Amino acid sequence: MHSTPVLSTLIAGAFAATSLHAAPRDEIVSAAADQKSVAVTIYNDNLALVKDARQVRLDRDLNRLAWREVSAQMRPETAQLRNAARPDGFRLLEQNFDFDLLTPAKLLDKYVGREITVVRTNPATGAETRETATVLSTNNGVVLKFADRIETGAPGRIAFPGVPDTLRDKPTLVISLLNPAAGMQHLELSYLTGGLSWRADYVAELNADDSALDLNGWVTLTNQSGAAYPNAKLQLVAGDLNRVREAQPSPRAMMAMAAKVADAAEMQQESLFEYHLYTMQRPTTLAENQTKQVALMSATRVPVKKEFLLEGANYYYSGQYGELGQKMKVGVFVDFANKGEGLGIPLPKGVIRVYKQDSQGNAQFVGEDRIDHTPKNETVRLKLGDAFDVTADKKQTAFQKLAGSGRYNYVFESAYEIVLKNAKPEPVTVTVREPMPGDWTMVSESLPHTQAASGTAEWKVKVPAEGQATLTYRVRVRY
């Protein structure tokens, strides 16, 4: 329900006068003040495991415990409460997750069909009068039934006799349990929740001749779970977990996030099943509706290999096409090995943004690429964009069908010319990679090729500074 300005005016005074939701008399309330520790393990896929340890005084036998300040996106079917000190005889009976939060509009909704009190103030004398009314409807405004009339948008304040038990000021898990002995108990509530996520972000800076880079990795944490986690022991799991997908609830309203950068602190990593676990070395606070960054890794002078790549296609080997492209873009890639000082750890998937200093010493953005989870000693390959000064013209210079009829046993022979142009003041080497379909044989070529894979031919073509180089080849393919 959306409250109108009139409705807000009606409720505002009375709501301010009404105390915040008090728990029912038979409830034992546990709030953040009882919290002794909290541990949060965040996974890649908007999923987190929360372990909330508190000291709570319980009665003997039946207790109704209201565990406040849990995540608003808790998956209640995953919640588990245990008694760390006295597990014997401690038994759970029922739990209810109350996430219908107390607002003026929600409070009025709960009183549809019930009586409330309308308080009016005489503007001349300041005297107040009170009149009982029944709430008939709250759809697009309030409709009240008095003893002798029905009014909409009546001026004044609305006073309520109380707050319904299921309407809470904060998300609350209400647990009915049996406890063997009265006294202070060491309880731990664990549950899975949405609204907590993390991703890895990397910043790299190339040196002047593109032979090395400095790399810094950051973990970006986002908390939109509807709860805060003060001084939490934080762990992150990198890897792709299999999860049972259920129908998704309607999306919650997205709230503004405040950015905060934490002091740099290396994270310790270890293997966990088929994933990798990263543990922050000091507690950190995940405030509600906050994005936070913590340091993951740092490496300097990492050797890189730069490559200019012109990649073809396999469709033109079975047909006559002629011109295949003018001023074709040549991709620019950089590779580096995940090993050496500062590296050699499993790198979580994320985006690497690459910068390079210009002639005046200012760092300029030169491209970015996304990497998958990368084990140690593997190669990281980034496409930064397309070269401005290196282009290619490609054409098919001959094509003929040598054999074949029906659907199979076709043999085609075709020839190609690729002219590579370099406007740079220094020479470059361009890798020309052509995927070859079917069974193929290189009939002739101006430069020797290498077979990068069973269906791929590659040439390394040196192009002089401010000059050009031509690659020609003829190939026979059989389908």
Are 416 and 456 contained in the same domain? yes
Are 469 and 414 contained in the same domain? yes
Indicate whether 464 belongs to any domain: yes
**Is 177:90 a contact under the CB 8 Å cutoff?**
yes
Are 451 and 324 contained in the same domain? yes
Sequence letter at residue 127:
A
Are 317 and 391 contained in the same domain? yes
- According to the model, what pLDDT value does residue 238 have? 78
Structural domain ending residue among the three candidates 276, 303, 330: 303
Indicate whether 6 belongs to any domain: no
Task: Work out how many domains the chain is built from and give that number.
Answer: 4
Q: Which domain holds residue 111?
A: 104-159
Are 309 and 397 contained in the same domain? yes
Indicate whether 291 belongs to any domain: yes
Are 137 and 184 contained in the same domain? no
- According to the model, what pLDDT value does residue 258 have? 29
Indicate whether 351 belongs to any domain: no
- According to the model, what pLDDT value does residue 153 have? 75
Are 295 and 424 contained in the same domain? no
Q: CATH number for the domain including 427?
A: 2.60.40.1170
DSSP 360: T
Structural domain ending residue among the three candidates 113, 139, 159: 159
- According to the model, what pLDDT value does residue 406 have? 65
Beta bridge partners of 173: 67, 97
The candidate with the shortest Cα–Cα distance to 239, out of 382, 75, 372, is 372
- According to the model, what pLDDT value does residue 230 have? 93
Are 387 and 413 contained in the same domain? yes
Sequence letter at residue 95:
Q
Pull the structure tokens for residue 455.
Answer: 């269906």
Provide the residue-wise pLDDT of the chain in tens; the chain has 479 residues. Answer: 444 444 444 444 444 434 444 455 588 999 989 999 999 999 877 899 999 999 999 999 999 999 999 999 999 999 999 998 888 889 999 998 887 777 788 888 888 999 999 998 888 888 999 999 999 998 888 999 999 999 987 678 889 988 887 777 788 899 999 999 999 999 999 999 999 999 999 999 999 999 999 999 999 999 999 999 999 999 988 765 454 555 444 433 332 322 333 333 455 555 444 567 888 888 999 999 999 988 888 999 999 999 999 999 999 998 999 899 999 999 999 999 999 998 988 888 899 999 999 989 899 999 999 998 888 899 999 999 999 999 999 999 999 999 877 667 889 999 999 999 999 999 999 999 999 998 999 999 999 999 988 899 999 999 999 999 999 999 999 98
- According to the model, what pLDDT value does residue 25 have? 58
Are 83 and 50 contained in the same domain? yes
Are 205 and 175 contained in the same domain? no
Indicate whether 350 belongs to any domain: no
**Is 200:276 a contact under the CB 8 Å cutoff?**
no
- Does this model's pTM top 0.75? no
Are 323 and 439 contained in the same domain? yes
**Is 281:270 a contact under the CB 8 Å cutoff?**
no
- According to the model, what pLDDT value does residue 171 have? 85
Are 318 and 272 contained in the same domain? no
Question: How is the chain split among helix, strand and coil, in percent rounded to 5?
Answer: 5, 60, 35
| SS3 of residue 429 by DSSP | strand
